[in-house]
Amino acid sequence: MKLLVTGGLGFIGSNFVRHVLKSHPSWRVVNLDIRTYAGNPANLADVAGGLRYRWVRADIRDPHAAAECMRGVDAVVHFAAESHVDRSILDAASFVQTNVVGTHVLLEEARRAAVERFVHVSTDEVYGSVEKGFSREADPLEPNSPYAASKAAADLLVRSYCVTHKLPALITRSSNNFGPYQFPEKALPLLITNFFDDQPFPLYGDGMNVRDWVYVLDHVRALEFLLLKGRTGEVYNIGGMHAAPNKELIERVRKLMGKPASLVQPVPDRPGHDRRYALDCGKLKALGFKHAYPFDEALNLTIAWYRANEAWWRPLKKAGGYRKYYDRQYAARLGRHADPSSAR
């Protein structure tokens, strides 16, 4: 099988590329990735020299590049996106451009190239905050952040290409991923890497927002499974079956790392902060998918990975763009009392 992966230099995409190249010795992967701040060639340094992997540095919004990358490809797995909710609150334009316009360009070129499968990687955030019960695939979309809205718009475009143009596409919606190679602006790697340096973690609001956590290696296994066994036109939820309020998860990590409670510092809440996400994953399970990583084991593996890979995350935390973004964020959120450096 020849695959086009978009966003393969990012967190989940790079884990997916590594996984499929290892599991399928005859598969080849083209990785279309423009390398934003979140894209990092180091994430795939171990496969980069091989004949079965090629990175094309281009924008998914570029129809020529997309068409070129789709030549001779059997299937597309589409990860490329702006993915951080906080950034979408500060500036939503790139989210609309990449997540909506970019997805449209890929759908159009996939239709022209007559690919046999298009897997669109989406998120549980499109369902909005679920106070009770669990989101099922047919539930209405009620996105609340500009990020979630841009992903929901992309989901609807995928659906329309499937119905109108018979594009053999399917949509996956996963919960919060964690694991190796996650950019240290997201909650868990920020927490772990700040704790290594005895720096505080800024806890948004009352810390009672509930997220479901899926280990990235289980997520990429589920994507591989659906690429091969999923049905065209369907949506599949991919959860981790491990939901917890942020406070509880943070407390667990704090104890595992032996750090003082004073390192968890409440800050004003994220605007529009969804209270709870919860996925019903019965449809995926009914197809026969089984998780391989118990949560505790995955959390320990993740902490151990960041401990062993300082050379990967330190430069990212030092980089100017990263600081500038957080400085703006904290200045905006905490007003004149803000001391951005106190939160990292």
What is the set of active-site residues? 124-125, 147
Determine contact, residues 285/225, Cβ cutoff 8 Å: no
Instruction: Find the residue with minimal CB distance to ligand NAD.
Output: 10
Please report how close the Cβ of residue 237 comes to ligand NAD at its closest, in angstroms: 11
Please report how close the Cβ of residue 57 comes to ligand NAD at its closest, in angstroms: 8
Instruction: Find the residue with minimal CB distance to ligand DAU.
Output: 123
Cα distance between residue 211 and residue 302, in whole Å: 17
CB nearer ligand NAD, residue 123 or residue 194: 123
Exposed/middle/buried for residue 165 (C-beta within 10 Å: 0-12, 13-18, 19+): middle
Among 15, 43, 150, 209, which residue interacts with ligand DAU (rule: CB under 6 A)? 209
Exposed/middle/buried for residue 180 (C-beta within 10 Å: 0-12, 13-18, 19+): buried
CB nearer ligand NAD, residue 38 or residue 222: 38
Binding site for ligand NAD (CB under 6 A): 6-7, 9-13, 32-36, 38-39, 59-61, 79-81, 83, 98, 102, 121, 123, 151, 174, 176-177, 183
How far lies 152's CA from each of 123, 137, 318, in Å? 9, 13, 33
Report the partner that residue 211 touches, choosing among ligand DAU, ligand NAD, none (CB closer than 5 to 8 A by kind): ligand DAU
Cα distance between residue 187 and residue 203, in whole Å: 9
Neighbours of 120 (CB within 10 A): 26
Report the partner that residue 77 touches, choosing among ligand DAU, ligand NAD, none (CB closer than 5 to 8 A by kind): none
Report the partner that residue 7 touches, choosing among ligand NAD, ligand DAU, none (CB closer than 5 to 8 A by kind): ligand NAD
Determine contact, residues 80/7, Cβ cutoff 8 Å: yes
Q: How many residues bind ligand DAU (CB under 6 A)?
A: 19
CB nearer ligand NAD, residue 81 or residue 167: 81
Cα distance between residue 237 and residue 226, in whole Å: 11
Residues 67-106 that bind ligand DAU (CB under 6 A): 83-85
Residues 149-188 that bind ligand DAU (CB under 6 A): 175-176, 186-187
Q: What is the dihedral of CA 322, 325, 328, 333, to 10 degrees?
A: -100
